[in-house]
Amino acid sequence: MKAKLLERRSPFDKSFISDVHSYPHFLNVWHYHPEFELVYIIQSKGTRFIGDSIKPFQEGDLVLIGEELPHMWQNDPEYFQKESGLTAEAITIHFRKDFAGSGLLDIPEMIPIQQMLERSKQGLVFDRETALLAKNKMKEVHESEAFARLMLFLELLYILANCKNFQQLSTKGFVHPSEKNGDLRIDKVYSFTYNNFRRNITLDEVADVANLNPTAFCRFFKKYTKKNYSKFLNEIRIGYACKLLLEEGLNISEVGYESGFNNLSNFNRQFKSLIGISPSQYLNKHQRGKK
């Protein structure tokens, strides 16, 4: 399985697409597209994969995903149970860089927006205050027509461009294969890893996904990502462990096993080396933060 290219066609009378989605769960597919994607989560929670970032998502989150950046919104397991009664709702806007004609972003007044779009190559998540402002503006955009719709969208971009409290998601090291000689093997590896990190993955197995032997695979993976495969896998697992610690009410050993680690000592060690503190300290820190 590799990241799927999703193609959209704007209606002839619109320069960008806005939608309000309501499904039992989001499209559970690792994909990318040439449009920027602005998403506000109205309802539902789960795990958000953007480039090589893996983080929990919940209602109230606002994310801007850059063009060609692979991503996937994976709802929690209960969303996939029949008759769960749960729904995943979001407002989205898909737009291309030249949505208002070529050259618009080059004028001086648009520099902050241009810079924000540049930053979105790694995926951006905005603070709650900005998210709330943007949500209302996105609704207005969706409900408006013609010229007013375009003006509201520009106002929305202006709000986002002036937000100082944002976080970049994917690392600069993440390179989508479409940018590098069209080698889709790395894409297959990302996809395989995101779908299987909760269980034991052997080097032989993942090398097989890329149609290489383990030695060649190690070299190939490092060439593209500037990190070795086990480090990449551990980062995904620790990201998922953080989500479980904050959301699930599981104890630390359960979180370790649920995140794909077979051994608690290794889980503790990896957690500390990546996050800088032990799992228990992380939990205490965030529980105190909630009170």
Partner DNA sequence: TCGCCCCGCTTGTTGTAGGA
Partner DNA sequence: TCCTACAACAAGCGGGGCGA
Q: Which helix (H) or strand (E) holds 72?
A: strand 71-75
Closer CB to DNA, residue 43 or residue 215?
Answer: 215
Minimal distance, residue 248 CB to DNA, in Å = 13
Residues whose CB falls within 8 Å of the CB of residue 166, separated by 6 or more in sequence, listed in order: 119, 124, 125, 126, 127, 130
31, 119, 142, 222: residue in contact with DNA (rule CB under 7 A): 222
Determine, following the binding rule CB under 7 A, whether residue 198 of this chain makes contact with DNA: no
Site string for DNA, 224-263 (x = CB under 7 A): ----xxxx--x----------------xxx-------xxx
Residues whose CB falls within 8 Å of the CB of residue 124, separated by 6 or more in sequence, listed in order: 63, 64, 116, 166, 167, 168, 169
Determine, following the binding rule CB under 7 A, whether residue 266 of this chain makes contact with DNA: yes
Q: Which helix (H) or strand (E) holds 190?
A: helix 185-196
DSSP 130-193: HHHHHHHHHHHHHH--HHHHHHHHHHHHHHHHT---EEE-S-TT---GGGTTT-THHHHHHHHH
Determine, following the binding rule CB under 7 A, whether residue 213 of this chain makes contact with DNA: yes
Determine, following the binding rule CB under 7 A, whether residue 115 of this chain makes contact with DNA: no
CA 77, 138, 53: angle at the middle one, nearest 5?
45
128, 172, 180, 219: residue in contact with DNA (rule CB under 7 A): 219
Determine, following the binding rule CB under 7 A, whether residue 197 of this chain makes contact with DNA: no
Closer CB to DNA, residue 69 or residue 252?
Answer: 252
Amino acid type, 290:
K
113, 114, 154, 214: residue in contact with DNA (rule CB under 7 A): 214
Minimal distance, residue 189 CB to DNA, in Å = 12
Handedness of CA 255, 191, 168, 75 (dihedral sign): negative
| Binding piece for DNA, criterion CB under 7 A, among 20-28, 43-51, 136-144, 218-226 | 218-226
Query: Can you give the binding site for DNA, defined by CB under 7 A?
Result: 202-204, 212-220, 222, 228-231, 234, 251-253, 261-266, 268-270, 272, 278-281
